[in-house]
Amino acid sequence: MTTIAHISDLHFGCEAPMLREGLLETLEHIHPELVVISGDLTQQASRREFRAAREFLDNLPYPYLIVPGNHDLTERNLPERLLFPWQKWRHYISPELEPVKHADAFIAIGINTARRASLHPDWSRGSISRMQVARIRRQLQTTPATSLRLLTAHHPFWLPAMFAHRELIRRGETALQAFQSEVDIILSGHVHLAYAQVTQGVIVSHAGTTLSNRLLLHHTNSFNVIRGDRQRLSLELMEWGSQRFRLSRQQVFRRHEDGWHQQH
């Protein structure tokens, strides 16, 4: 059985050291085969924040897959954003923006959905291109049929109705149609809200903010744990409370001929 921890929106620059230590302690008990980090390592993409993120990654004793988020692009330095958008990311975090991790039981593919600029006035919105979709499908064509297939992006492919104003990733619907029967689960963040939903036969699972103080009202810091295989997946929500992360909710999903379904 595969065990993967999904953390997101760490926002170094407004993180809580107690949460960082609590996360590492909880991960030690879970002992995941992979830690997925779905973007927004920093708050303002400063060098100080990237150095703090680098220190965290150096102390993470597990393999990890990491993609950038919109906060990992500077908002204050327009020439840097337009001409050298990923210079700090590549220097401090990784030369890769879209990493891939292979294991005997799974494949995890990273997608960079953050954009340096957009015709939309809100540059924090994400997008997935046709070239990215085609690349992912090519990678999955050579993946064993029994391997769990995970995609990681920063921006949402599905949102609860009350958060629809945050807007879905551009071309997300087209991507989901292309990923049917090929992708099992998409791991994302961005909205600081933990939830999981099946859409077009694919599980869309979002993590809340794991370490930062940028919380939604009535929500706390959290991360997710995914356990299982290509036939059955358990999604566990780990929420901060009483000075530690503890299991708050579990959802179970099973895969049928027409895709994934939540088990009630």
Place of tokens 């297939």: 149
* Helices 130-141 and 172-179, packing angle to 10 deg: 20
Place of tokens 């920093």: 42
Kindly state the average pLDDT of the residues 185-198: 96
Name the H helices within the chain: 17-30, 47-58, 78-83, 87-88, 130-141, 172-179
Place of tokens 């990733």: 169
Q: CA-to-CA distance for 165 and 183, rounded, in angstroms?
A: 26
Length of the chain: 264
pLDDT tens by residue, 10-64? 999 999 999 999 999 999 999 999 999 999 999 999 999 999 999 999 999 999 9
Residue type, 249: R
Place of tokens 């990678």: 139
pLDDT tens by residue, 42-51? 999 999 999 9
Q: Count Cα neighbours of 258 within 13 Å in the Cβ-side half-sphere.
A: 5
Q: CA-to-CA distance for 172 and 166, rounded, in angstroms?
A: 14
How high is the mean pLDDT of the chain?
95
pLDDT at 121: 78
Interacting residues of 75 by C-beta distance below 8 A, sequence separation 6+: 44, 45, 81
pLDDT tens by residue, 226-251? 999 999 999 999 999 989 999 999 99
Whole-model pTM: value is: 0.95
Kindly state the average pLDDT of the residues 201-212: 96
pLDDT at 229: 97
pLDDT at 4: 98
- Helical (H) or strand (E) element with 253: strand 244-256
What are all long-range contacts of 246-253, with beta carbons under 8 Å and residues at least 24 apart?
Answer: 248/222, 251/196, 253/196, 253/198, 253/203
Could you tell me if 63 and 35 are in contact, meaning their C-beta atoms sit under 8 angstroms apart?
yes
The pLDDT of residue 94 is above 90: yes
Q: Among 154-158, 164-168, 188-192, whose mean pLDDT is lowest?
A: 164-168
What does 21-43 look like in DSSP terms, one character per residue?
HHHHHHHHHH--SEEEEES--BS
Kindly state the average pLDDT of the residues 146-156: 97
The pLDDT of residue 263 is above 90: yes
Whose CA is closest to 10, among 48, 46, 37, 44? 37
Q: Among 67-71, 86-90, 132-136, 212-216, whose mean pLDDT is lowest?
A: 212-216
Q: CA-to-CA distance for 173 and 51, rounded, in angstroms?
A: 36
The pLDDT of residue 176 is above 90: yes
